[in-house]
A and B are shown apart, each in its own frame.
Chain A
Amino acid sequence: MTGVVLRCEQVSVRRGDREVVRDVSVELRVGELVALLGPNGAGKSTLLDALGGVIAPAQGRIERHGRVAIALQAPDLARRSVLVNVTLALAWWGVPRPERADRAREALRTMGAEHLADRPAGTLSGGERRRVHIARALAVRPDILMLDEPFAGLDPEARANLLEDAASVLRSATRATLVVVHDRAEAWALADRLLIMIGGELVAVGPPRDLLEHPPSMVVARFLGFDGSLEDAGETLLTRPAHVTLDPAGPLRARVKRAVPLEDGVRLELELDRGRLYTVAPLPAPRPGDTIRVRVHGGARFPLGADGAAASPSGDGRSGAPAGAQPVARRE
């Protein structure tokens, strides 16, 4: 396929005696921004290390067309100025000395960190360190850029600001970018394509919206926040809170089991005869013990007893998953 800068086929990676990544096949193309999403311990960072060439896979083949720059998870900087830290990265990469200062300043400007250039790295806040960390990976202008949880450990405000800036900065027509995230919101904000990894396996690949609307398996659906579950018409209907609304004329009767106050409403846990749903209700909200009526719009349907990757999904309209969102087990 044209524009493929990285191709890995049936790659497995071991850490000591443990197989952390199993049988992963994936491609990265120039111009796309791909997010690798999964819970803690899913093997995301290990896969990234293998794709980037930091560790060798135990099995499988990885082809890279171009140079790979990895921004590791820890944004540790040398005890020097911010500008020197970025020029150091350029020196490691092999950029000629006369070009380094200009390229370093440009990368810092891109990340909104040019004003930090002369600051000692030790005086930076967590968000500023992350910006400089990303800037030095951008400065080297790799063909493939990989970032390992670039927003980890930030307070919500710093994270939101950095995410907003990074969403446009990380997209480039001349390289492929792979970002490891474990927060779904980060993946939605960034990615053209999503790789979902659970338990060392790639369980779904596709555009974020497609995966969210048509999760290919119950495991993926659960991971994507489909926390409600209802038996309906011989199938299991999984729902996200947004799929469930309070409606006095709704077809389903539910009892409020728990109510957790949120900033803009209340998260309700609802008990039904054939399942349990969650929703976010505006204030004033029903209280625990109240009986209410609800309506479900959307959700994902699976055969009863389906336990994950083997399940055949269908959207709420029973039209099946689109080509973009598919369980990896069925790819090619």
Chain B
Amino acid sequence: MRLLWEELRAAVPLIFHGNPYLLSIIWFTIQVAVIATVCAAVIGLPIGLAIGLGRFRGRRVLQLLANASLGLPPVIVGLFLFELFVPHSLLASLRLQETRKAVFVAQTILALPYIVALTAAAIQGLPPGLLDQARALGAGRRQLCTLALREARIGVLAAVIAALGSALSEIGAIVIVGGNVYGLDQTLASAALYDANAAHYAQAVAVGIVLIGLILILMGGVGALQQSGGGIRLRFRS
């Protein structure tokens, strides 16, 4: 306990000294979290909508896969991506190994199941009569999707929060595909691991405190949007 207290005392000045290294990691972490979440949402929302609204064969299998992917071990994802990115492999031509882009890809893949599974669940939890009635009155696919997203917005925002949390905190994949290179492709979480491994405990604690602060700010923002209920105003067009 005493050791922790001392590390905390040593960490606080590091946070407030305007350390350019720390600032660059914060900025990169925000970039990774936001871009990975947005990419996961762009890819995952249509899939979640299709699973939630669709009546096609294989929908249940997709749902099962999405749910199972929630337990996807980040290290395994990282290993697979690493194998795909190394020279002479399938995606070697993309030259992503140990790059920032690889970090974005890895975090997007890890955030995707949250968006897909939780969006599908939120839509399936809507009163069935509402969507069936819209269909019965001639609603088109786009109108149905807009209606479903708007009505399930609290659940959909919960999916975004979960995806954002994953993108901010997961390190298993990015340390493998990005290499956790000092000053290049470190996020706050992977930098904390780096510092801890290097026995720079005060630095690791400082990074950890900043990460928790960032999580509180970002998640708090999306959470406030969720709680406001009407935070998202989607316009309905015929």
Residue contact B130 to A78, C-beta cutoff 8 Å: yes
Bound CA–CA A70/B147 (angstroms): 18
Q: Which of B131-139, B176-184, B185-193 interfaces with chain A?
A: B131-139
Bound CA–CA A72/B236 (angstroms): 22
Within 8 A of B (CB), among A65-113: 67, 69-79, 88-89, 91-97
Residue contact B137 to A89, C-beta cutoff 8 Å: yes
A78-B150, A96-B238 known; A70+B128 contact, CB < 8 A: no
Residue contact A92 to B129, C-beta cutoff 8 Å: no
Of A75, A78, A97, which contacts B238 at CB under 8 A? A97
Residue contact A72 to B133, C-beta cutoff 8 Å: yes
Instruction: Quote the shortest CB–CB distance from B128 to chain A (angstroms).
Output: 7
Contact string against B for A residues 10-28, beta-carbon threshold 8 Å, 1 for contact and 0 otherwise: 0000000000000000000
A52-B136, A69-B136, A89-B137 known; A94+B129 contact, CB < 8 A: no
A89-B137, A92-B139, A94-B138 known; A72+B237 contact, CB < 8 A: no
Using Cβ atoms and an 8 Å threshold, which residues of chain B touch A52? 136
Bound CA–CA A95/B236 (angstroms): 13
Residue contact A92 to B127, C-beta cutoff 8 Å: no
Bound CA–CA A140/B132 (angstroms): 16
Residue contact A76 to B130, C-beta cutoff 8 Å: yes
Residue contact B236 to A91, C-beta cutoff 8 Å: yes
Nearest B residue (CB) for A137: B137
Using Cβ atoms and an 8 Å threshold, which residues of chain B touch A75? 129
Contact string against A for B residues 5-40, beta-carbon threshold 8 Å, 1 for contact and 0 otherwise: 000000000000000000000000000000000000
Nearest A residue (CB) for B143: A92
Instruction: Quote the shortest CB–CB distance from A71 to chain B (angstroms).
Output: 7
Using Cβ atoms and an 8 Å threshold, which residues of chain B touch A133? 133
Bound CA–CA A73/B137 (angstroms): 14
Using Cβ atoms and an 8 Å threshold, which residues of chain A touch B137? 69-70, 89, 92-93, 136-137, 140
User: How many A-B pairs with Cβ below 8 Å?
Assistant: 63
Of B133, B134, B229, B237, which contacts A71 at CB under 8 A? B133
Interface residues on B, range: 20 to 34
Using Cβ atoms and an 8 Å threshold, which residues of chain B touch A67? 138
Bound CA–CA A288/B139 (angstroms): 60
Contact string against A for B residues 126-160, beta-carbon threshold 8 Å, 1 for contact and 0 otherwise: 01111011111111100100010011000000000
Using Cβ atoms and an 8 Å threshold, which residues of chain B touch A77? 130
Bound CA–CA A71/B129 (angstroms): 10
Nearest B residue (CB) for A146: B136
Bound CA–CA A320/B11 (angstroms): 100
Bound CA–CA A91/B238 (angstroms): 5
Nearest B residue (CB) for A92: B139
Bound CA–CA A91/B137 (angstroms): 9
Q: List 18 A-B contacts (CB under 8 A).
A: A67-B138, A69-B137, A70-B136, A70-B137, A73-B129, A76-B128, A77-B130, A78-B130, A78-B150, A89-B133, A91-B237, A92-B143, A92-B238, A94-B138, A94-B238, A96-B238, A133-B133, A140-B137
